[in-house]
């Protein structure tokens, strides 16, 4: 199919499409300022399309007419089409089998034919139009002269080596594209992609630049799709003077400077490397403090790579429109290699501000005999969770190897030793029984799949390579020497979970921090850890069920202990590895689901749990206040995943009269617990007196795993957690380093009696609003019964708080707060990829984002105010420029009756001369977008005004084009008169032969 796009509007749209029914398109060529497009096909034919009406011309160059009649073999698909630099009436056609034909469009016959015994991939003209170059499948380049087409006058294999016999040069990989560009004061440039030798199959895709005898190979990170040489002159028949090469890669766009030695690349002003390493998690912040973007950009600019071209980016066009509604927006992406990138997403632009490499705090991993590729697949530094406080600039990440790093922001470089804190949790495998010993494979060969998964994650490697059982050893080694930390985010503390009883620590499932309290909290599949990152001590390290104290909220049903351990191990494998091996995990879950249909006993209930990312869905009514003493006949389930954490000033107990620091803890079983944080009374004592954290005994319950928390004051306004105002910890000024911490508190309404706060809690099944401190449930709403929520966030929209939810079925649901009235419920995007579920997040002002593909961030908005202003915010892709005047190639030759002259393509390809093309050959499909689509969609008074404006624009555009054509005709007439006068004078003086 051929598509014609309209780039003159803010949203590019297809105007016309042409679908070929019997032939596949292989090459297209549009001459400069021509409305006739040459289309080569797989069958070797060349068709001509009018791009204004998008219909086929009756003029067709059939393959059997292009080749000699004596040739019986098919020449193969058309791989090249171009008109001669000296005569636009001559079309050069290249066929795959090595045949090249110079076709005279006027006489409809071949002027010359060239044959070579190697397949052709591309052809490039010399600007004089007397020579051309071909690239071939054996890595060779052949140079041809139109005066002697019997054989090439030069054959080279740029990357070929002379073999031992000294006669034949070895074959190389195909040269996929070649360009031949000339210079005024130096040798021509020959630029091509591919063509490397076969002796190094692991070499990356490359672009070769030949300038005289010098050959430079530029290796690329991704396969080359196409490249284009930028020249100072737009005309093909003049010396081009190339100055840059634009290279389109599969996942990038780079521009090489040809005017400087070693050919440096230009610094790309546009972000093309969001996928430099796979994105594993995202965060989105709208309406950030306005000073953040300049600060992040200033420290990020100091980290940029050196060696870029000293010249400015050579590609121009288009313009950004910020619109009336702008506020600072920042996107943070965590990557598989441990890097974190901060992006400026204000309006609709996207610019990278700052890059942080979290792996620099660790020693390089020893391979221990493993292949490099296998080690690379494990991604030990992959970012799983992030927490960022824009006001205090505290930043925390949780990595795949069970560690948490706390960062502080500083404008000054330091060289400190990295503080490290190791935390040993209780054994995470029940009764220290190996899962493999008790597991019954749920489907054939399951044990091999699961064991390979566990080997990759490190969770079942109970014996080290030396044969010693690992214990109290972290997964990674923190650098024990001073580390240079440039301006930006600098590591304050590294918290590592260590091996326990021969078992690797489980991955971290939730993370939060608070700068005002100086505390960070995180949890995994069975434990909660609270750490004071100011004093660098552990405040709390408890199993999730130990948080209940003497109460047990769940009454477990009798079940076989062996079967329980089997599925506990299975679920452990699923939960721990679904983030990094979603495809294999999906296949395992699909096999589980197929077994569910064949089983009716207790096993089917356990299999049903594997369909949801949480341990249970319907636990709300299974509350009991006594712990069963029988452990031999019931399921001894000792794990309860920590799924959500939230620091705030709230009421931890029913009888509290004032709000105090506390930590809200949500679990995978739908239980909410509160942990009280006791801080020193004054800021001066914060560095010395201990901080304590203890469970308060408050329990609330919901259906499904808890996803998010929030607190509203008595007027319904969102209460933000307290934070410490940022101050540079490494400032050169003594007063800045020693001044007191400035804490910013968002207190709720003060009332003498009654409730003071609303607690908003949302799980994967329902949302509840509690009144605090009475803990009375005021509102409850079952968000979904047939699916479950993947993401829920409490955000502000139009100065009001609301609950935004994203369902696994693809629905986006928004509720008002605190009443939980439905505001929006639309089917948007069914979740067909774990990447969407992992990266989807909401932010303020009705915006959200996710990774639509491994290389693209998709932003969406559900705010009417933003929608009304969106058209003004969109950029202009098309920028009007003065088009160079087309040259009349072969003008003087045609004046004296030669075969040259200006080609009248309208007369040659038009219906009056060439006739109509066969209707069955191609089908015209009108486009739904563009100006035509806008005309049809407009209605009412606004539509009438829009149509009138469009008509005026079109009329003005046509008048402008008419003026341009008139001016060109006048210029042409003057040139004709001048040259005719000169000819007559020279003929009169009998010197016409000199002319």
Taking CA atoms, 381 is separated from 26, 333, 500, in Å, by 44, 14, 21
Domain ranges of the chain: 1-115, 642-669+694-728+743-858
Q: In whole angstroms, give the CA distance from residue 755 to residue 753.
A: 7
Q: In whole angstroms, give the CA distance from residue 110 to residue 313.
A: 43
Q: What per-residue confidence (pLDDT) applies to 486?
A: 92
Q: What per-residue confidence (pLDDT) applies to 986?
A: 54
Mean pLDDT lowest for which of 46-55, 470-479, 658-667?
470-479
Give 548 or 227, the one with higher predicted confidence.
Answer: 227
CB-based contacts of 165, cutoff 8 Å, min separation 6: none
Residue 664: half-sphere exposure toward Cβ, Cα within 13 Å: 24
Asked whether the whole model's pTM tops 0.85, one would answer no
For 407-438, write each residue's pLDDT tens digit. 999 999 999 999 999 998 865 444 433 333 33
Average pLDDT over residues 137-158: 93
Mean pLDDT lowest for which of 83-87, 553-557, 776-780?
553-557
Identify any residues that bridge with 710 across adjacent strands, giving them in sequence order.
760
Taking CA atoms, 976 is separated from 161, 468, 787, 982, in Å, by 55, 94, 77, 10
- Look at the block and give the residue holding tokens 């204004």: 52
Confidence of residue 906 (pLDDT cuts 50, 70, 90): confident
| Residue 912 pLDDT greater than 90, yes or no | no
Domain range 1-115, its CATH number among 1.10.357.10, 2.130.10.10, 3.40.50.2300, 1.10.230.10: 2.130.10.10
Q: What per-residue confidence (pLDDT) applies to 981?
A: 64
Q: Do the Cβ atoms of 703 and 693 come closer than 8 Å?
A: no
> Please, what sign has the CA dihedral across residues 476, 478, 483, 485?
positive
Tokens of 244: 């840059």
Taking CA atoms, 263 is separated from 187, 314, 711, in Å, by 16, 14, 57
Mean pLDDT lowest for which of 44-53, 359-368, 464-473, 603-612?
603-612
Q: Do the Cβ atoms of 704 and 672 come closer than 8 Å?
A: no
Q: Do the Cβ atoms of 178 and 191 come closer than 8 Å?
A: yes
| Residue 134 pLDDT greater than 70, yes or no | yes
**Rounded to 5 degrees, what angle do the CA atoms 385, 606, 706 make?**
35
Q: What per-residue confidence (pLDDT) applies to 495?
A: 96
Q: What per-residue confidence (pLDDT) applies to 889?
A: 59
Full 3-state SS string of 382-435: CEEEEEEECCCCEEEEEECCCEEEEEEEECCCECCCCCEEEECCCCCCHHHCCH
| Residue 633 pLDDT greater than 60, yes or no | no
Q: What per-residue confidence (pLDDT) applies to 960?
A: 54
**Rounded to 5 degrees, what angle do the CA atoms 612, 613, 616 make?**
65
Q: In whole angstroms, give the CA distance from residue 78 to residue 60.
A: 13
Tokens of 626: 């006594």
Give 452 or 945, the one with higher predicted confidence.
Answer: 945
| Residue 394 pLDDT greater than 70, yes or no | yes
Give 322 or 817, the one with higher predicted confidence.
Answer: 817
For 721-742, write each residue's pLDDT tens digit. 999 999 888 887 766 666 677 8
Q: What per-residue confidence (pLDDT) applies to 225?
A: 95
Closest CA to 501 of 608, 425, 448, 579: 425
CB-based contacts of 503, cutoff 8 Å, min separation 6: 427, 428, 429, 459, 460, 462
Taking CA atoms, 511 is separated from 581, 645, 720, 926, in Å, by 22, 7, 17, 52
H or E element, residue 987? helix 940-988
For 793-826, write each residue's pLDDT tens digit. 999 998 899 999 999 999 999 999 999 999 999 9
β strands within 683-739, DSSP E:
692-701, 706-713, 723-724
Question: Taking the CB of residue 341, how many other CB atoms lie within 10 A of it?
Answer: 21
Q: Where are the alpha helices (DSSP H) in 531-681?
A: 561-577, 582-596, 602-609
- In our burial notation (b when 16+ CB lie closer than 10 A, e otherwise), range 549-562 reads eeeebbebeebebe
Confidence of residue 634 (pLDDT cuts 50, 70, 90): very low
Q: Do the Cβ atoms of 584 and 446 come closer than 8 Å?
A: no
Tokens of 259: 């005017």
Give 621 or 203, the one with higher predicted confidence.
Answer: 203
Average pLDDT over residues 139-144: 95
Mean pLDDT lowest for which of 285-294, 350-359, 368-377, 401-410?
368-377
Q: What per-residue confidence (pLDDT) applies to 693?
A: 92
Percentage of the chain with pLDDT > 90?
A: 47
Query: Could you give the strand order of the β-sheet that contains 766-772, starting from the edge strand earlier in sequence?
Result: 706-713, 757-763, 766-772, 776-782
| Residue 909 pLDDT greater than 90, yes or no | no
Average pLDDT over residues 91-98: 95
Full 3-state SS string of 498-541: ECECCECCCCCCEEEEECCCCEEEEECCCEEEEEECCCCEEEEE
| Residue 590 pLDDT greater than 50, yes or no | no
Average pLDDT over residues 155-184: 85
Q: What per-residue confidence (pLDDT) applies to 366?
A: 66
Tokens of 533: 């990152």
- In our burial notation (b when 16+ CB lie closer than 10 A, e otherwise), range 696-719 reads bbbbbbbbbbbbbbbbbbeeebbb
Q: What per-residue confidence (pLDDT) applies to 833?
A: 85
| Residue 472 pLDDT greater than 90, yes or no | no
Q: What per-residue confidence (pLDDT) applies to 325?
A: 66
| Residue 269 pLDDT greater than 60, yes or no | yes
β strands within 810-906, DSSP E:
811-816, 822-827, 841-843, 847-853, 856-861
For 956-989, write each residue's pLDDT tens digit. 556 555 655 666 676 667 666 666 666 555 545 4
CB-based contacts of 129, cutoff 8 Å, min separation 6: 84, 85, 86, 87, 146, 237
For 916-949, write each residue's pLDDT tens digit. 888 888 888 888 765 544 443 333 444 455 455 5
Q: What per-residue confidence (pLDDT) applies to 426?
A: 67
Q: What per-residue confidence (pLDDT) applies to 683?
A: 74
Q: In whole angstroms, give the CA distance from residue 53 to residue 18.
A: 11
Closest CA to 901 of 85, 89, 102: 89
Q: Do the Cβ atoms of 764 and 722 come closer than 8 Å?
A: no
Straight-line distance from the first to the last Cα atom of the chain, in angstroms, rounded to the nearest whole number: 49
H or E element, residue 284? strand 279-286
Q: Do the Cβ atoms of 694 and 754 come closer than 8 Å?
A: no
CB-based contacts of 403, cutoff 8 Å, min separation 6: 474, 475, 476, 494, 495, 496, 497
């Amino acid at each position: 199919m051929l598509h014609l796009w309209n780039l003159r509007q803010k949203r590019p749209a297809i105007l016309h499409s042409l679908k070929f029914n019997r032939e596949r398109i292989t090459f297209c060529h549009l001459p400069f300022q021509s409305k006739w497009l040459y289309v080569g096909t797989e069958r070797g034919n060349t068709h001509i399309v009018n791009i204004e009406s998008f219909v086929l011309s009756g003029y067709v160059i059939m393959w059997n007419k292009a080749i000699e009649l004596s040739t019986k073999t098919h020449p193969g698909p058309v791989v090249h089409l171009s008109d001669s630099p000296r005569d636009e009436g001559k079309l050069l056609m290249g066929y795959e089998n090595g045949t090249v034909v110079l076709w005279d469009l006027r006489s409809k016959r071949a002027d010359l034919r060239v044959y070579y015994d190697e397949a052709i991939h591309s052809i490039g003209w010399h600007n004089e139009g007397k020579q051309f170059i071909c690239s071939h499948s054996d890595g060779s380049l052949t140079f041809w002269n139109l005066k002697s087409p019997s054989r090439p006058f030069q054959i080279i294999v740029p990357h070929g080596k002379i073999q031992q016999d000294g006669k034949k040069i070895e074959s190389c990989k195909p040269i996929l594209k070649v360009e031949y560009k000339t210079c005024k004061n130096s040798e021509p440039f020959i630029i091509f992609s591919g063509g490397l030798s076969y002796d190094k199959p692991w070499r990356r895709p490359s672009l070769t630049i030949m300038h005289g005898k010098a050959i430079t190979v530029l290796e690329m990170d991704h396969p080359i799709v196409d490249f284009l040489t930028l020249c100072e002159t737009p005309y093909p028949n003049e010396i081009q003077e190339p100055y840059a090469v634009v290279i389109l890669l599969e996942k990038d766009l780079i521009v090489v400077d040809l005017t400087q030695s070693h050919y440096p690349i230009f610094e790309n002003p546009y972000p093309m490397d969001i996928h430099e390493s796979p994105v594993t998690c995202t965060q989105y912040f709208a309406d950030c403090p306005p000073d953040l973007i300049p600060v992040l950009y200033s420290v990020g600019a100091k980290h940029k790579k050196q060696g870029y071209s000293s010249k400015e980016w050579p590609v121009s066009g288009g313009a950004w429109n910020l619109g009336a509604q702008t506020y600072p927006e920042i996107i943070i992406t965590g990557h598989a290699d441990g890097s974190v990138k901060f992006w400026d997403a204000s309006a609709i632009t996207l610019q990278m501000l700052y890059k942080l490499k979290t792996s620099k705090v660790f020693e390089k991993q020893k391979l221990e005999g493993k292949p490099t590729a296998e080690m690379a697949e494990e991604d030990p530094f992959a970012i799983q969770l992030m927490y960022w406080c824009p006001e205090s600039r505290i930043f925390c990440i949780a990595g795949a190897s069970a560690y948490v790093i706390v960062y502080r922001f500083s404008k000054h470089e330091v060289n400190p030793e990295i503080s490290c804190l190791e935390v040993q949790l209780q054994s995470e495998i029940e009764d220290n029984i190996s899962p493999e010993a008790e597991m019954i494979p749920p489907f054939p060969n399951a044990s091999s799949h699961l064991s390979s998964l566990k080997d990759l994650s490190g969770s079942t490697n109970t014996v080290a390579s030396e044969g010693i059982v690992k214990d109290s050893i972290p997964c990674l080694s923190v650098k024990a020497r001073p580390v240079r930390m440039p301006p930006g985010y600098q590591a304050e503390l590294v918290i590592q979970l260590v091996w326990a009883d021969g078992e690797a620590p489980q991955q971290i499932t939730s993370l939060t921090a608070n700068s005002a309290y100086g505390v960070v909290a995180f949890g995994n599949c069975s434990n909660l850890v609270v750490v004071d990152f100011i004093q660098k001590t552990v405040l709390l390290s408890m199993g999730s069920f130990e948080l209940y104290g003497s109460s047990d909220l769940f009454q477990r049903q009798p079940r076989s202990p062996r079967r329980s351990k089997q599925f506990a191990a299975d679920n452990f494998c699923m939960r721990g590895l679904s983030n990094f091996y979603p495809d294999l995990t999906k296949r395992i879950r699909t096999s589980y689901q197929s077994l569910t249909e064949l089983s009716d006993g207790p096993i089917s209930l356990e299999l049903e749990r594997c369909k949801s990312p949480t341990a249970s869905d319907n636990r709300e009514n299974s509350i009991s206040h006594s712990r069963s003493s029988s452990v031999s006949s019931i399921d001894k389930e000792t794990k309860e995943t920590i799924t959500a954490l939230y620091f705030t000033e709230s009421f931890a107990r029913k009888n509290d009269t004032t709000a105090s620091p506390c930590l809200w803890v949500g679990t995978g079983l739908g239980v909410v617990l509160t942990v009280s944080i006791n801080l020193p009374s004054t800021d001066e004592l914060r560095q010395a007196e201990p901080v304590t954290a203890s469970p308060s005994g408050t329990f609330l319950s919901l259906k499904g795993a808890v996803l998010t928390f929030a607190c509203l004051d008595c007027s319904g306004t969102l209460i933000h957690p307290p934070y410490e105002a940022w101050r540079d910890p490494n400032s050169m000024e003594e007063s800045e380093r020693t001044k007191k911490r400035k804490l910013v508190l968002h207190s709720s309404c003060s009332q003498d009696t009654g409730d003071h706060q609303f607690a908003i809690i949302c799980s994967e099944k329902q949302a509840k609003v509690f009144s605090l401190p009475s803990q009375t449930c005021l509102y409850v709403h079952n968000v979904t019964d047939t699916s479950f929520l993947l993401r829920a966030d409490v955000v502000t929209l139009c100065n009001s708080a609301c609950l935004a939810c994203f369902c696994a079925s693809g629905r986006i649901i928004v509720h008002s707060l605190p009443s939980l009235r439905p505001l929006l419920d639309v089917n948007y995007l069914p979740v067909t990829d774990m990447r969407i579920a992992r990266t989807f997040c909401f932010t303020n002002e009705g915006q959200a984002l996710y990774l639509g593909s491994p290389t693209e961030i998709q932003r969406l908005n559900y705010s009417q105010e933003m929608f009304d202003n969106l058209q003004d915010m969109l950029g202009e892709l098309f920028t009007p420029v003065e088009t160079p005047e087309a040259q009349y190639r072969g003008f003087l030759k045609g004046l004296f009756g030669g075969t040259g002259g200006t080609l009248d393509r309208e007369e040659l390809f038009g219906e009056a001369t060439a006739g109509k093309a066969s209707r069955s050959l191609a089908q015209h499909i009108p486009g739904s977008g563009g100006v035509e689509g806008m005309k049809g969609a407009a209605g009412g008074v606004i539509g009438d005004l829009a149509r009138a404006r469009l008509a005026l624009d079109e009329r003005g555009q046509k008048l402008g084009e008419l003026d341009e054509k008139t001016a060109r005709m006048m210029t042409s007439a003057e040139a004709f008169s001048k040259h005719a006068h000169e000819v007559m004078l020279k003929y009169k003086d009998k010197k016409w032969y000199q002319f």
